[in-house]
Amino acid sequence: MSRSSITNYDGGFCLVFPNISHFKGLLDHLRATNEKSGNFIMSRDSITYQSTGFGEKLLNDIVLDISTFPYKYSHDDEELAIGIDIFDFKNQINTYEKSCQLEIKKVDKDNYLEIRPLTNSSMSDSGCRSKLKLKNIDNDINEVPEYDRSPICAVTTNHLAKNLSNLCTGSKNPTIYVYCSDTGIIFESRHNSDTNIGTYRIGEVDERTADMYSINHHIVKALGKLSGINKEKLTKIFYRKGEPLRLTVPISDDNGTLNVYIRMDEMQNNSEEVEEEGEVEEEY
């Protein structure tokens, strides 16, 4: 199920995000996952964003926690869709100092987004103001699956991003396998006809009985950009057979959540098959 969102030039809002560096990291992740543009959906109670990538094998679902930073919504309608070009937005704030806060503002009837860096101490200007023209974007908003269980494992975001990026180093087109259980996950990369095999294990997993999947190596490589979204916060990994793998990543200092949903291709676990064949031979 999905519904559509279309950019609206009526209405306005103003927010001050507390960490420019982590906001840049969020935009970097969106760019790495093939997202060029999309709609932020503003309302009185929430700010959300969705985007897909890699042939809809990946879905980014962002919810910002407006209780953790200054935010004002000025519109008669329940929602205001703000269409932006991610690359242009990132370029606008690239020169801002990492230690600053980021004010993002739109006034009623204006088709531009106003951006400026603010000092942490006095909330005064800390650099050049910028204006970013809004885009008229018609986006589908997808319903995401609910997970009625605890995460199978958790790991610091920096550690996860670094190791997933390392798995993709060694050849241009590695094959990536993923082994999932109720207590952990294994990412395995195979390079140059299996001459080089890398493994990254989180939690407890028995490869012989785990559910086995393949995943596009470009997706795994893109997840290396997650390290810029927070500093040493835990990413939680959720798995339920038949549903996308979910990575729940805190944004900055718990100013929101990025949920990354990844659709994997199920594989026959040959380890389990070999073990069963061995058991039959022993009986004879």
Tokens of 212: 């086995």
Domain with CATH 3.10.150.10 in the chain: 2-142, 153-278
- Which pLDDT tens digits describe the chain residue by residue (284 residues)? 455 555 566 889 999 999 999 999 999 999 999 778 888 999 999 999 998 899 899 999 999 999 999 999 999 999 999 999 999 999 999 989 888 999 999 999 899 999 999 988 766 676 688 999 998 877 778 888 888 789 999 999 999 999 999 999 988 899 999 999 999 999 999 998 888 999 999 999 999 999 999 999 999 999 999 999 998 999 999 999 999 999 999 999 999 999 999 999 999 876 655 444 444 343 32
Tell me the C-alpha distance between 146 and 283, whole Å: 44
The label of the residue with tokens 């890699």 reads 54
| Nearest one of 96, 117, 97, 95 to 105, comparing CA atoms | 117
Fold topology of 2-142:
DNA Polymerase III; Chain A, domain 2 (3.10.150)
Fold topology of 153-278:
DNA Polymerase III; Chain A, domain 2 (3.10.150)
Per DSSP, 67 falls in state G
This prediction has a pTM of: 0.89
E strand or H helix at 107, and its extent? none
| Nearest one of 98, 94, 91 to 21, comparing CA atoms | 98
User: What contacts 14, CB < 8 A, 6 or more positions away?
Assistant: 70, 71, 72, 74, 103, 104, 105, 106
